[in-house]
């Protein structure tokens, strides 16, 4: 062990010695310059540095320690790299590592350091130099041509003048350097023109121009950058020469205010055209009223679709597939609405909404004749391959995926599919009808009507007829016991998929989607349904000159006036007016553009008339207030409710309408309330509280009450709706004839209704008029004791038999002889009292009938304050026995025949009338008796409302 230790120690000392020497070899850091400046030409990779890239190390010539192994770059992501050319001399080169573009970046700044090779081959103990800053400038190359900023330049000058500058053309260059990016020169290419151009692009005329000599000039101009590179394309400059006179329309206003209800309003009463005396052969003026932003293309009536159809004389039987959301029309509640415009009911589909129409609403079978109508606003479909966009689809609900009929848009084509039932026809028949029209994708509102007289199908768009450009045939659908589903806004796919879902969603807006089986719509009705209520007009056509020709488009938004004489044109233009026939038009701006073309002899156009841009401002209509007034409570006997006519709750109804009128618009003016007459479009009678029970009550109106009026009515357990565009007087007459019947009023104490009316589909609504119908119930005959034995000052409420029985049950029994005498006396007195009260009530009923026949029904509440029945307190002893006998008889009659009992109760209702005094204890007892008698199914009058 000791012998081995000597060599091992010697080796360790030797290695330690060499290690100490190695640590002393790499003593110094490399040295480089503190900064470098370089230049590189774009699209090249060599950088010229000043000074050259050289690193020195004082450890030279020691191997590794005195050599330079690398240069490293730090800083922004510069597209450069440094390469060592000679490790011994430390020379290096800087070059681009990627493309360098002057237009992207003109300069670069980054940090560079030099690294030596360390103490040995492993590179250990390397040292780095200090940081040096490198600035690189990118030299530009003239690679782009000048480009003009406008494709065409236009200017006009007045004849006889010298201009310093008529207009300035401008070009630009994409190169980055001032030498190549600046435009140093412009040049007119067209020879022989009286124009010159300076280095800044200003064009001037070198001589006075004459309108008679030449009215316009077209010159071509080019540009050069400072590297003398010419523009790739020359630009055209049009210069028109104007006569000294300024032709155009004079005396017109930029704004015309229209007050609702004023009829026709002249637009340009003092306007005339100035042509500067040139010889003219004709003038053509086109006036365009822009109303696309108003409602569905213009100001139209905003009544409901059913009301509009009835107003236009359309046949009944149509089904509104997009009604307003309501209790009976809840399938549209989930759809997006856009009803901000004058109460128009518009549904917006964004490709995610659709609605399944309930089966009870869907027309069961489309015959050979039917009509489908809708308003639609649709734009181009997104994507290269547009999907089908379904407006209306009737498909299998389950199992299969057959489309029985559908209406959809595909690639700006409107397609109607109708697959006939195999049981009706078994031959190859027309099934798909295609129309390709610009209106389908122009993002404007249009009214589409499909009239089917199978196999012919015709499309009307805004009243204009279009035949299909393509008709494809198909086999009819085989009969299957599968229910169908009608969908709006998409198509229902109930079969051939894992989960039933909507497909082929529609993108756009729809309104007034209806379907009418069995009949087609006439041209007259279609024109009425899509007619605009605003447009241009001409007053006093008979006063126009004979040379004047004019033409309106169907919507009266475009008017063309032509004439040969300027005075005739001026007269015709002064009679052009704006008209809006709506009583309550949509307020807002309507832009008006007037373009004019003047023809000279032998020339198409010899004079340029500036376009007129004006606006028609429809002022807001006066605020309308609809008020419903009348009696708020109606009390009737139960017999009246049971009668065949029931009762008329709104017999005293009155509907009035007022507006706030002022002396003028703008500024200070006095306001007053003025009563006006106008139409209504619906009145709803809603049941407040529990809905009507069809088994015992109804709210109805006889068909004769609607004859001669533009009204229809529908009812349900929630109430009744009378609808149609008609005057307020007709609505009053109809509502007064609404009848409420209840053939089992025993359990009814009152029934409450609320009436509201509307104009313009809810734009103006009335107050909510609440009405309460009370019922007077009759009670069965009761036992009355002799009230003559008591003094008037001791009068008390009479006790019902049930109360007598209850009281006697707590009393001690009377002697037998006294009981017999009391019973006999009470029986005799009861007979007398019953007969007397019955005669009084019979007399009152006769008087009531006479009042009803004379229609002087004041509906007064009954008052029992005048009826006082007194009881001898000493005669209560035998009440129990009499009550038991009478109650036994009544129960026998009920068991024999319930119907006979009801008739007898109707005749003897007065026998059970009881009245109360101010004694609160008597009233409490009466309430208890009434409650217990109701449990025994006895009809009892509420005596608090009876008067004699």
- pLDDT above 70 for 780: no
pLDDT value at position 41?
82
- pLDDT above 90 for 153: yes
pLDDT value at position 821?
63
Element (H, E) at 239: strand 235-242
DSSP per-residue string spanning 557-582: -EEEEEES-HHHHHHHHHTEEEEE--
Q: Using alpha carbons only, how large is the chain's radius of gyration in Å? A: 50
- Among the ranges 270-279, 695-704, 776-785, which has the highest mean pLDDT value? 695-704
Q: How far is CA 97 from CA 39, 81, 92, 108, 109, in A?
A: 15, 6, 15, 13, 15
Q: How confident is the model at residue 302 (pLDDT cuts 50, 70, 90)?
A: confident
- Identify whether the C-beta of residue 332 lies closer than 8 Å to the C-beta of residue 325: yes
pLDDT value at position 882?
37
**Angle formed at CA 939 by CA 936 and CA 943, multiple of 5 degrees:** 120
* Selection from 726, 635, 840 nearest residue 310 by Cα: 726
- pLDDT above 50 for 315: yes
Q: How far is CA 234 from CA 180, 194, 229, in A?
A: 18, 19, 13
Give the pLDDT confidence of 398-439 residue by residue, as tens digits. 878 888 889 999 989 999 998 876 555 567 788 899 999 999
Residue bearing the bigger pLDDT, 766 or 326: 766
Number of CB atoms found within 10 A of residue 215's CB? 17
Give the pLDDT mean for 561-588: 91
pLDDT value at position 474?
81
pLDDT value at position 24?
57
Spatial separation of the C-alpha atoms in residues 937 and 902, rounded to whole Å: 11
* Selection from 838, 718, 720 nearest residue 778 by Cα: 838
End-to-end CA distance of the chain: 147
pLDDT value at position 401?
80
- pLDDT above 90 for 288: yes
pLDDT value at position 845?
53
**pLDDT > 70: what percent of the chain?**
77
Spatial separation of the C-alpha atoms in residues 782 and 163, rounded to whole Å: 117
What is the torsional sign of CA 636, 638, 642, 643? Answer: negative
Give the pLDDT confidence of 550-569 residue by residue, as tens digits. 999 888 899 999 998 888 99
pLDDT value at position 883?
40
Give the pLDDT confidence of 468-523 residue by residue, as tens digits. 999 988 877 777 778 889 999 999 988 777 788 899 999 999 998 999 888 888 88
- pLDDT above 80 for 758: yes
pLDDT value at position 839?
67
Spatial separation of the C-alpha atoms in residues 510 and 332, rounded to whole Å: 12
pLDDT value at position 649?
93
Give the pLDDT mean for 936-946: 37
Residue bearing the bigger pLDDT, 64 or 215: 215
- pLDDT above 70 for 212: yes
pLDDT value at position 343?
61
- pLDDT above 90 for 86: no
Number of CB atoms found within 10 A of residue 135's CB? 14
Give the pLDDT mean for 90-95: 88
CA torsion angle 241 245 249 252 (round to 10): 130
For tokens 């086999």, the residue is 475
pLDDT value at position 398?
83
pLDDT value at position 187?
93
Spatial separation of the C-alpha atoms in residues 312 and 743, rounded to whole Å: 40
Spatial separation of the C-alpha atoms in residues 541 and 26, rounded to whole Å: 112
Give the pLDDT confidence of 26-74 residue by residue, as tens digits. 788 899 888 999 888 887 888 888 898 888 888 888 888 788 888 888 8
Q: How confident is the model at residue 666 (pLDDT cuts 50, 70, 90)?
A: very low
- pLDDT above 80 for 933: no
Spatial separation of the C-alpha atoms in residues 32 and 103, rounded to whole Å: 32
* Selection from 679, 763, 625, 766 nearest residue 341 by Cα: 763
- pLDDT above 50 for 929: no
Helix (H, G, I), strand (E, B) or coil at 906: helix
**Which of 41-55, 174-188, 306-320, 802-816 has the lowest average pLDDT?**
802-816
Residue bearing the bigger pLDDT, 932 or 318: 318
**Which of 198-202, 215-219, 747-751 has the lowest average pLDDT?**
747-751
Q: How confident is the model at residue 254 (pLDDT cuts 50, 70, 90)?
A: very high
Give the pLDDT mean for 840-866: 44
* Selection from 107, 109, 105, 112 nearest residue 82 by Cα: 112
Spatial separation of the C-alpha atoms in residues 295 and 585, rounded to whole Å: 11
> Rounded mean pLDDT of the chain?
78
Give the pLDDT confidence of 673-716 residue by residue, as tens digits. 888 888 998 999 999 999 999 999 999 999 899 988 888 898 88
- pLDDT above 80 for 349: yes
């Amino acid at each position: 062990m000791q012998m081995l230790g000597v060599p091992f120690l010697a080796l360790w000392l030797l290695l330690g010695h060499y290690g100490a020497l190695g640590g002393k070899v790499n003593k110094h850091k490399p040295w480089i310059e503190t900064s470098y400046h370089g230049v590189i030409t774009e699209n090249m990779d060599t950088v010229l540095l000043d000074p050259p890239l050289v690193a020195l190390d004082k450890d030279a010539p020691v191997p590794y320690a005195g050599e330079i192994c690398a240069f490293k770059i730090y800083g922004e992501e510069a597209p450069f790299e440094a390469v060592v050319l000679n490790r011994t001399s430390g020379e290096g080169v800087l070059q681009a590592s990627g493309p360098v573009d002057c237009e992207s970046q003109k300069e670069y700044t980054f940090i560079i350091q030099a690294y030596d090779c360390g103490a040995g081959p492993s590179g250990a103990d390397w040292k780095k130099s200090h940081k040096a800053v490198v600035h690189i400038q990118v030299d530009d190359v003239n690679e782009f041509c000048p480009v003009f900023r406008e494709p065409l330049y236009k200017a006009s000058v007045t004849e006889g003048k010298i201009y310093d500058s008529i207009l300035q053309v401008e070009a630009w260059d994409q190169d980055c350097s001032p030498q190549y990016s600046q435009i140093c020169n412009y040049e007119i290419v067209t020879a022989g023109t009286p124009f010159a151009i300076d280095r800044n692009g200003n064009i001037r005329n070198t001589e006075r121009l004459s309108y008679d000599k030449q009215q316009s000039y077209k010159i071509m101009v080019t540009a050069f950058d400072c590297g003398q590179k010419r523009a790739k394309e020359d630009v055209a400059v049009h210069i028109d020469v104007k006569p000294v006179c300024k032709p155009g329309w004079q005396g017109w206003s930029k704004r015309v205010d229209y007050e609702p209800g004023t009829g026709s309003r002249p637009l340009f009463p003092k306007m005339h055209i100035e042509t500067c005396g040139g010889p003219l052969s004709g003038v053509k003026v086109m006036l365009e009223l822009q109303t696309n932003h108003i409602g569905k293309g213009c100001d139209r009536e905003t009544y409901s679709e059913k009301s509009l159809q009835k107003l236009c004389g359309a046949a009944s039987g149509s089904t509104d597939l997009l009604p307003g959301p309501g209790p009976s029309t809840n399938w549209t509640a989930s759809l997006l609405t856009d009803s901000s415009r004058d109460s128009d009911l518009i549904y917006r589909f964004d490709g995610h909404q659709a609605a399944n129409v309930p089966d009870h609403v869907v027309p069961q079978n489309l015959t050979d004749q039917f009509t489908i109508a809708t308003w639609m606003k649709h734009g181009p479909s997104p994507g290269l391959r547009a999907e089908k966009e379904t407006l209306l689809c009737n498909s299998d609900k389950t199992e299969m995926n057959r489309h029985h009929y559908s209406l959809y848009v595909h690639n700006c084509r409107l397609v109607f599919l109708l697959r006939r039932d195999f049981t009706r026809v078994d031959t190859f028949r027309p099934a798909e009808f295609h129309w390709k029209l610009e209106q389908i994708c122009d993002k404007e509102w249009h009214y589409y009507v499909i009239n089917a007289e199978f196999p012919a199908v015709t499309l009307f768009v805004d009243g204009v007829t279009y035949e299909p450009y393509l008709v494809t045939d198909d086999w009819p659908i085989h009969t299957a016991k599968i229910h169908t589903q009608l969908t709006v806004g998409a198509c229902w796919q109930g079969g051939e998929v894992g989960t039933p879902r909507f497909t082929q969603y529609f993108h756009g807006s729809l309104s007034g989607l209806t379907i009418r089986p069995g009949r087609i719509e006439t041209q007259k009705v279609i024109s009425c349904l899509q007619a605009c209520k605003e447009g241009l007009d001409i007053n006093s056509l008979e006063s126009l000159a004979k040379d004047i020709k004019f033409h309106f488009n169907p919507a009266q938004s475009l008017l063309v006036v032509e004439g040969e004489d300027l005075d005739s044109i001026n007269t015709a233009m002064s009679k052009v007016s704006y008209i809006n026939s709506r009583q309550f038009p949509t307020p807002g701006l309507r832009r008006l553009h007037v373009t004019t073309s003047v023809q000279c002899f032998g020339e198409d156009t010899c004079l340029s008339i500036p376009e007129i841009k004006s606006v028609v401002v429809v002022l807001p209509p006066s605020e309308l207030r609809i008020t419903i007034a009348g009696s708020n409570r109606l009390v009737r006997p139960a017999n009246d409710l049971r009668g065949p006519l029931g009762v008329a709750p709104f017999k005293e109804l009155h509907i009035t309408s007022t507006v706030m009128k002022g002396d003028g618009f703008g500024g200070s003016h006095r306001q007053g309330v003025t009563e006006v007459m106008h139409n209504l479009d619906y009145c709803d009678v809603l049941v407040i509280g529990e809905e009507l029970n069809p088994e015992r009550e109804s709210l109805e109106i006889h068909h004769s009450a609607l004859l001669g009026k533009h009204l229809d009515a529908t009812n349900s357990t929630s109430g009744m709706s009378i609808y149609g565009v008609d005057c307020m007087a007709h609505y009053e007459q109809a509502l007064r004839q609404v009848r409420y019947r209840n053939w089992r009023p025993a359990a009814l104490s009152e029934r409450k209704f609320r009436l509201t009316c509307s104009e313009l589909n809810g734009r103006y609504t009335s107050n909510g008029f609440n009405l309460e119908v009370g019922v007077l119930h009759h009670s069965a005959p009761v036992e009355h004791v002799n009230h003559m034995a008591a003094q008037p000052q001791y009068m008390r409420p009479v006790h019902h038999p049930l109360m007598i029985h209850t009281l006697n049950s707590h009393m001690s029994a009377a002697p037998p002889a006294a009981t017999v005498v009391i019973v006999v006396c009470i029986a005799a007195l009861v007979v007398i009292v019953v007969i007397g009260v019955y005669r009084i009530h019979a007399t009152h009923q006769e008087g009531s009938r006479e009042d009803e026949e004379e229609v002087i029904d004041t509906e007064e509440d009954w008052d029992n304050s005048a009826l006082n029945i007194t009881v001898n307190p000493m005669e209560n002893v035998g009440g129990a026995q009499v009550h038991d006998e009478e109650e036994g008889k009544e129960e026998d009659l009920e068991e024999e025949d319930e119907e006979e009992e009801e008739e007898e109760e109707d005749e003897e209702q007065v026998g059970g009338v009881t009245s109360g005094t101010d004694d609160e204890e008597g009233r409490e007892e009466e309430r208890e008796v009434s409650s217990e008698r109701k449990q025994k199914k006895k009809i009892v009058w509420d005596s608090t409302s009876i008067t004699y």
